[in-house]
């Protein structure tokens, strides 16, 4: 009978010795990612978008907030206005670069906060079980009674427009699904022998969660959380488009799409640029998440 080795405590399947890199699980994940050209390609695109956002003050050829009516709706390729001008004659390239900063911030920050809040609640509910699980998860289930977009609109409508309120609204709507995933995987890990052994050795609850549980549940939680970045970007852009998010004159892709929608019949190529950037960034995060999930699933 073939000898087998367990990848890590709580892994879903066992694989033959030699299928895992001798250096450990994470080095094997890194190797599998390096063999996935699609994930690498979209990861490189994301890195370039991040670099463009960080270096926006250096790369932007013009002030993104300075209007120039002589360049109003300038076409793509206009000298000094490579990607044309918007409805007020502001340089589209500069505004797209600065808009990347806002859009990425509104895409990543709520997801990170939701990971801390939802992940903590989910792990606590899954490990402790009983009435604690019932209380936490029933509160989380309340949010599932409302469609995500409508709940976001309702929250931003109640709190008012603005970046801070938009951040709060997206964090609130993303925390319950992360909590549900965290609770599910933690409930599975709690039943493994190494957790019972740690409990029998006298380890306290916090130590067991920190040392034995988190190392086994972080992978699935992080993969799912990565897939929510694209959702966060789209919801943020959508709320800004509707007037519930970032306020003018801030350079934000969703807000730019809203202000340019009336010019689509005059200069459609410039008008679709913010939407194209939202699509590309969201797709990159989605495909990167898929690649990470495949690399971390050692059953295949």
Is the pTM of the predicted complex or chain greater than 0.75? yes
CATH number corresponding to 4-296: 1.10.3720.10
Q: What is the pLDDT of residue 13?
A: 39
- The segment with the largest mean pLDDT, out of 115-119, 153-157, 266-270, is 115-119
What does the buried/exposed string (b/e) look like for 200-230 if buried means 16 or more CB atoms within 10 Å of the residue's CB? eeebeeeebbeebbeebbbbbbbbbbbbbbb
- Listed by start position, the domains of the chain span 4-296
Dmax (CA) of the chain? 79
Rounded CA-CA distance 156/167 in Å is 9
For the cut 60, the answer to whether the pLDDT of residue 7 exceeds it is no
CA distance 196 to 223: 27
**Alpha carbon separation from 84 to 25, 149, 224, 257 (Å, rounded):** 49, 32, 38, 14
The confidence band for 212, taking pLDDT boundaries of 50, 70 and 90, is confident
| β-pairing verdict for 4-6 and 14-16 | antiparallel
Task: Give the number of other CB atoms < 10 A from CB of residue 179.
Answer: 28
pLDDT digits (tens, 9 = 90+) for 116-149: 999 999 999 998 888 998 999 999 988 888 888 8
Of 188, 190, 194, 156, the residue nearest 173 (C-alpha): 156
Least confident of 116-120, 132-136, 191-195, 262-266: 191-195
In the chain, the N- to C-terminal Cα span, in Å, equals 21
Side-chain half-sphere of 99: how many Cα atoms within 13 Å? 30
DSSP 2: -
Say yes or no to pLDDT of 86 above 50: yes
The H-assigned helical ranges of 67-162 are 92-128, 130-143, 148-159
Where are the strands (E) in the chain, listed by range? 4-6, 14-16
């Amino acid at each position: 009978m073939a000898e087998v080795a367990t990848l890590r405590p709580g892994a879903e399947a066992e694989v033959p010795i030699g299928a895992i890199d001798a250096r450990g699980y994470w080095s094997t994940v890194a190797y599998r990612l390096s063999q996935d050209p699609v994930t690498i390609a979209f990861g490189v695109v994301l890195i370039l978008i991040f670099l463009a956002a960080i270096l926006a003050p250096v790369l932007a050829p013009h002030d993104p907030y300075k209007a120039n009516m002589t360049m109003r709706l300038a076409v793509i390729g206009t000298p000094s206005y490579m990607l044309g001008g918007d409805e007020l004659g502001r340089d589209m390239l500069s505004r797209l670069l600065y808009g990347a900063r806002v859009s990425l911030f509104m895409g990543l920050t709520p997801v990170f906060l939701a990971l801390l809040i939802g992940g903590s609640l989910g792990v606590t509910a899954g490990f402790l079980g009983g009435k604690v699980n019932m209380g936490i998860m029933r509160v989380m289930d309340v949010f599932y009674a409302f469609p995500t977009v409508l709940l976001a609109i309702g929250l931003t409508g109640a709190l008012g427009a603005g970046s801070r309120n938009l951040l709060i609204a997206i964090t609130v709507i993303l925390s319950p699904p992360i909590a549900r995933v965290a609770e599910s995987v933690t409930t599975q890990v709690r039943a493994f022998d190494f957790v019972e052994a740690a409990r029998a050795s006298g380890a306290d609850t916090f130590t067991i969660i920190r040392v034995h549980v988190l190392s086994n549940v972080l992978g699935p939680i992080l993969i799912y959380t990565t897939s929510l970045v694209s959702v966060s970007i789209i919801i943020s852009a959508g709320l800004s488009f509707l007037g519930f998010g970032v306020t003018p004159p801030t350079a934000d892709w969703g807000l730019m799409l809203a202000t340019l929608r009336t010019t689509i019949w005059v200069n459609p190529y410039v008008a679709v640029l913010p939407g194209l950037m939202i699509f590309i960034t969201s797709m990159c995060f989605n495909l990167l998440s898929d690649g990470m999930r495949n690399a971390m699933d050692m059953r295949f």
